[in-house]
Every structure is written in C-alpha cells, then in structure tokens.
C-alpha cells in the first residue's frame, strides 16, 4: 500500500506486540505475497492509530469504520476520504450495529478486522462474536484493549466468552447456545496479549441481506453489474378485518396481526449468482434476501444453512465452484420444496412477477429443485404451474448448486405471521381459473365443506368424530383433500359457500373460492401460524376461529414420526363451553347462505 509519510506518534509497545503477532500469522499463510485488506473500527477519528495499524500490517487497502452519533445518508454510501489517512484509505461512518453490518457487507471480506472501539466490555465481547463473520478463513479478528490506547481495559469479557466456547467444544462441562457454539467453531486460535486479543478465523461467513438493503449494498459494491430492480412498490398499511366469531377474542388479538403492514415489495434481477437447492442464493459471500422465506422477521434463518449468528450463516454445500447454467431464470425454489402448504403460501405468492419477468426476458424459465418424480417437481406442482400458464418444459430442476447468468426474484406477496398483499387475490384467481378449465362443474355441488384430515397427524382434534358429526347434521360434506386431485379440490372449493375444518395446509384451498366466503377453523391454543387468516384477508373471506383445549401430557410424535413440540399439541373442542356458540354461528350462516 502506498504511503505519503509516516504518521506522527508511535504505537505503544503492547499494540506493536499485537500487530506483530498478526503480521507473523499472515506471513505464514498460503499466499505470503498478497498484502491484506484491513478494516479498523474506531469510535472517533484516529488517523494516527489507523495508519500505524495499516503500515504495520502492510495493508493494500484500509477501510476505517468510524462511529458517529448521527449519520447523513444511507448505510453503504460511498466512503469519504480522510486527509489524515495514508494512501487509498477510506472512512465509512456508522451509527449503530445495523449500520456497521451493512457497511461491512458493502466492502466484502477482510483479512484483518481490528476493533479499537472504546465500548463496554460486554459490547466488545458481543462485537467479536457477531462480526468475526466478515473475516475470511485464516484471517484475524483483533480487539485492541483499551489500556493499550490509554483507556480502561475492556477485553476481559471477550476473552471469557471466547475461552468458554472453545473449552466446551473441546469437552469441558457446560452448555452452549447455538450462537455460542458457532462462535467457538469459528475461532481456530485464541491469543491473549497485553495489548489485546487475537482470534484466528476458521471458515467463511456469508452475510445475510434483507430486501430493502440489498440494492444499495450491491450497487455500492458492484456498480450496475450486479443487476437491477425490475419493480419496487412502496410500503403501506391496510386494515385487517377478518375475524368474525371466535371463542377467544383475547388470544386472537394477541396472536394475529392487527394491521396489514405490507413492506416495500421488490422484483429484483441479479447477475451471476449461485443457486443451491432449498432456496439458497449466493453472490460472492452475500446471502441474497430471497434465501429467507420469512424475510421480515427479526432473525433471518434457512435450515439449509449453518447458522453462525444474527448477521452471518454459511451454506452447507460448496457454492464457490458451481457449474454455470446458461440463460435467465425465475426463482421458485423452496426451503421445503415438496410440502403442499409451503408451495401454496411461499411459491404461489411469487407468481405475480412471472408476467413482468416474461415481458423482460421472453425466454425465461422457472428454476426450482425436487427429489420427487425422477428429478421433476411433484405432480401437483406441475399441474398448478401449468394452470398458471407455465409449461413443464419451461421448468428447470437443479439437484446441486449452479451459477446462472441472470435470475429474477420476486419478494412474496405474503409472509406467515406478518402480512398479505391484496394483490395476492389476482394471482389466486388466475391460478383458480386455470385449474377450473381442467374440470367440469359438479352436477350437485357441495356448498358446505368440512375439511377433515388423516388420523394421528399432529395437532389432532381428539374428539373430531363428535365435532364432524355436528357439521354433518348441518348439511356439511366431510372430505379429505388428499383423496382428490388438485383439480378436483379447486372445483370443490370454488363451489363452496362455507368451508370448515382444522387449521392447516388443507384449508389453503380457500384461495380457489369463487367469491368471499365464510371459513370456520379449529386449532389448539399454541399454534403460531396465521396463513389462513392472511389468505382470508387478501381474498375477502370471513374467518371464524375456535381454539381447543390442549393436551399437555399427550403423545410426543405424530404418525409420521414428527415431534409435536408445543405448537403442534393435540387438543379437544370443548363442546360444553363452546358448542352453543358454534351452533349459533352455523344457524346464522344458514340465514346468510341458505340451507343446502
């Protein structure tokens, strides 16, 4: 790295010892000729300190992240020059942890990250655990102790946390959280010196990105070559007036969203990205937001990744040498790629962007993965896609990571527990109409359906025979959707005025109703998913919700061997307490829809 002059002042003996330790480690690496990329974190302008660090390490590039009380502009903006810094050094301001995460993501991985922040001991320890992820495999995370900078010593807690994680991993007694274990696994060596702490990094971290931060970060890092937004719609809030009758209005208020807070919605076109099965999208060491099916939750998670911490994860397959698959694709892969419920609530809400993608790229194809039907999507998925106008020869299936020239990704119009964009109704109607073209109207349509389910599944209603008999007496037809093709299911739900059943994926077919209908759902008190509620909000249905009494000391697994846990416990519909309320509801629906 070029330098104009030696900086004024001289680092302390303690600081020199720390930097010399890192320099020796860098010199012993596989590539001893490559000068390192160095990042320095400071909480006030300290050009002499930053220059000393850069010169001591022979840095080819120095980026100084300076904490400020207030920052103008968005995180990831172009760094500013500093007259007090040497050569190609740049200064990037940040105001908080999220700003720092975004700024680090903008500039890529570093060989050395030096934390010279004068924060509390607990904050120094947390910063190391979080941001060691941006250091490359074999690189160094260095925490300069406050005493070496003329401040109070503040690295003891960092040493304690890192030592504990390493000790337990190597057989010492104790329990570690997932993040503590991942932290220890990333530390190849821990060295404690008078001037600070040196952590040698093991493995590479991949940065988790959210939708809104992705275009500015990619633009700052790659310019226009990363791709482009094809569509961005602003965030908005719409009312949620879905619940009709319920036996627990307080739990509804606690569990269900009160407002439909629709985030900024985007359709992005990426260039040169790697796609791995189970919805993993990687550009260099960035995990693109479409990797995460619950992309607006506090923590981004995909079970196909190894979790490192809040900001970093790592693919479990090699994404760096993936073969190239030529062409432009529309991403429709899923983390849970064969599950009907996930397809209906996570893939279908992305199909709205297919027309835009086709108009932009007439030869575009769907990209997904499957382990069923000889490397083709499951039959029901093929039928649904064909009903939407996507032929099977337009679907490309991958079984291992590939790199593509261009990939169009749509943010879903719905996310469980959060929101449902009213535009989802248009997608559902197009899908429904395509399915209806494949069947004839029933001579005697069933206007009232009760959707039952196979015995011994999770969340079983233990007095379901009694409950279903109650509906049979009211003229409901009891069906199990799995006994009918998806085309037949669409026709039955299209012809129904009232649909009742157990909350779960079988009820998602209310997407195919011909008009707003009444939906009656039964569920235990701990189940957290809100898909039926959100689907009803988008299509104008009225949801009547009855919570059953949970069985807390019942079976632990269902008939397929799945753990019930807390949210999937069995339950009983309390006839004595709620039977009259249910009967009154059914009588009122007779008046609304007429007897059938």
Among 541, 549, 540, smallest CA distance to 522 is for 549
Determine the Cα angle at 222 with ends 309 and 79, to 5°: 80
Write the CB contacts of 591 (distance below 8 Å, at least 6 apart in sequence). Answer: none
Same CATH topology for 13-202 and 439-593: the answer is yes
Other beta carbons less than 10 A from residue 568's beta carbon: 18
Which tokens sit at 409?
Answer: 């990704």
Could you tell me the end-to-end alpha-carbon distance of the chain, in angstroms, rounded to an integer? 83
pLDDT at 45: 76
Among 271, 422, 427, 434, smallest CA distance to 355 is for 427
Among 539, 543, 267, smallest CA distance to 420 is for 539
Beta strands in 358-485 (DSSP E): 365-369, 395-398, 402-410, 414-415, 419-420, 448-451, 477-479
Among 83, 88, 86, 82, smallest CA distance to 66 is for 82
pLDDT at 376: 86
Among 163, 143, 108, smallest CA distance to 22 is for 143
**455, 542 Cβ separation under 8 angstroms:** no
Which tokens sit at 543?
Answer: 């949801």
Which tokens sit at 501?
Answer: 């059943």
pLDDT at 87: 59
pLDDT at 11: 67
Beta strands in 399-466 (DSSP E): 402-410, 414-415, 419-420, 448-451
Q: Give the pairing type, strands 206-208 and 312-315.
A: antiparallel
* Below-70 pLDDT ranges, the chain: 1-11, 28-33, 70-88, 371-374, 595-596
Find where tokens 């942890």 sit: 97
Which tokens sit at 475?
Answer: 């003229």
pLDDT at 33: 55
pLDDT at 3: 34
Per domain, the residue ranges of the chain are: 13-202, 207-415, 439-593
pLDDT for 363-389, tens place per residue?
Answer: 999 999 876 666 789 999 999 999 999
Which tokens sit at 45?
Answer: 């302008």
pLDDT at 83: 44
d(C-alpha 244, C-alpha 541), whole Å: 10
Burial class (CB in 10 A: 0-12, 13-18, 19+), 546: buried
Beta bridge partners of 461: 571
DSSP 537-574: HHHT-EEEEEEPEE-TTS-SB-TTS-B-TTTT--EE--
Q: In sequence order, which ranges of 290-397 are alpha helices (DSSP H)?
A: 340-342, 354-360, 379-387
pLDDT at 148: 87
Q: Return the CATH number of the domain spanning residue range 439-593.
A: 3.40.50
**Prediction pTM value:** 0.92
Other beta carbons less than 10 A from residue 502's beta carbon: 24
Yes or no: domain 13-202 corresponds to CATH 3.40.50.150: yes
Q: What is the dihedral of CA 560, 565, 566, 570, to 10 degrees?
A: 30
């Amino acid at each position: 790295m070029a330098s104009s002059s030696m900086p004024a002042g001289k680092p302390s003996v303690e600081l020199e010892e720390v930097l010399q330790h890192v320099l020796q480690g860098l010199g012993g690496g596989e590539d001893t000729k490559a000068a390192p990329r160095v990042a320095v974190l400071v909480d006030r302008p300290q050009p002499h300190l930053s220059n000393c660090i850069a010169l001591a390490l022979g840095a080819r590039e120095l980026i100084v992240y300076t904490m400020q009380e207030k920052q103008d502009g968005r995180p990831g903006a172009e760094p500013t020059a500093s007259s007090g810094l040497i050569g190609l050094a740049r200064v990037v301001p940040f105001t908080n942890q999220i700003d720092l995460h975004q700024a680090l993501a903008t500039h890529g991985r570093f060989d050395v990250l030096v934390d010279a922040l004068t924060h509390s001991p607990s904050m120094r320890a947390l910063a190391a655990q979080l941001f060691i992820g941006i250091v490359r495999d074999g690189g160094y995370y260095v925490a300069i102790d406050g005493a070496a900078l003329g401040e109070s010593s503040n690295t003891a807690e960092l040493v304690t946390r890192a030592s504990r994680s390493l000790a337990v991993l190597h057989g010492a007694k104790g329990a570690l959280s997932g993040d503590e274990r991942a932290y220890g696994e990333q530390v190849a060596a821990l060295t404690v010196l008078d001037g600070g702490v040196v952590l040698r990094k093991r493995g590479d971290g991949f940065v988790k990105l959210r939708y809104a931060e992705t275009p500015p970060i990619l633009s700052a890092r790659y310019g226009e070559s990363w791709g482009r937004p094809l569509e961005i719609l602003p965030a908005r809030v719409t009312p949620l007036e879905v619940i009709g009758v319920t036996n627990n209005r307080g739990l509804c208020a606690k569990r269900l969203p009160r407002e439909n807070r629709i985030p900024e919605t985007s359709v992005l076109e990426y260039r040169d990205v790697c796609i791995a099965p189970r919805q993993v999208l990687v550009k260099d060491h960035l995990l693109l937001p479409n990797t995460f099916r619950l992309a607006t939750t506090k923590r981004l998670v995909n079970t196909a990744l190894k979790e490192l911490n809040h900001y970093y994860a790592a693919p479990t397959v090699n994404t760096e040498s993936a073969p190239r698959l030529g062409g432009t694709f529309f991403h429709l892969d899923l983390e849970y790629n064969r599950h009907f419920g996930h397809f209906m609530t996570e893939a279908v809400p992305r199909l709205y962007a297919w027309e835009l993608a086709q108009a932009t790229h007439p030869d575009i194809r769907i990209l997904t993965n499957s382990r069923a039907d000889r490397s083709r999507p499951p039959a029901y998925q093929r039928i649904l896609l064909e009903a939407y106008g996507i032929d099977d020869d337009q679907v490309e299936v991958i079984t291992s990571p590939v790199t593509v020239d261009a990939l169009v990704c749509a943010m879903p119009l719905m996310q469980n527990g959060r929101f449902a964009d009213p535009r989802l109704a248009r997608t559902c109607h197009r899908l429904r109409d395509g399915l209806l073209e494949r069947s004839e109207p029933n001579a005697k349509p069933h206007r009232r359906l009760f959707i039952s389910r196979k015995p011994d599944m999770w969340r079983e209603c233990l007095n379901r025979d009694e409950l279903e008999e109650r509906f049979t007496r009211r003229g409901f037809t009891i069906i199990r959707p799995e006994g009918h093709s998806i085309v037949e299911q669409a026709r039955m739900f299209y012809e129904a005025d009232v649909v009742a059943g157990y909350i779960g994926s079988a009820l998602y077919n209310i997407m195919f109703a011909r008009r707003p209908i009444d939906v009656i759902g039964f569920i235990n008190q701990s189940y957290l998913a809100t898909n039926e509620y959100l689907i009803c909000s988008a299509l104008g249905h009225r949801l009547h919700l009855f919570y059953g009494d949970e069985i807390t000391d019942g079976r632990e697994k269902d008939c397929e061997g799945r753990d019930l846990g807390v949210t999937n416990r069995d339950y009983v519909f309390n006839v004595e307490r709620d039977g009259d309320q249910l009967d009154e509801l059914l009588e009122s629906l007779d008046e609304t829809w007429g007897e059938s």
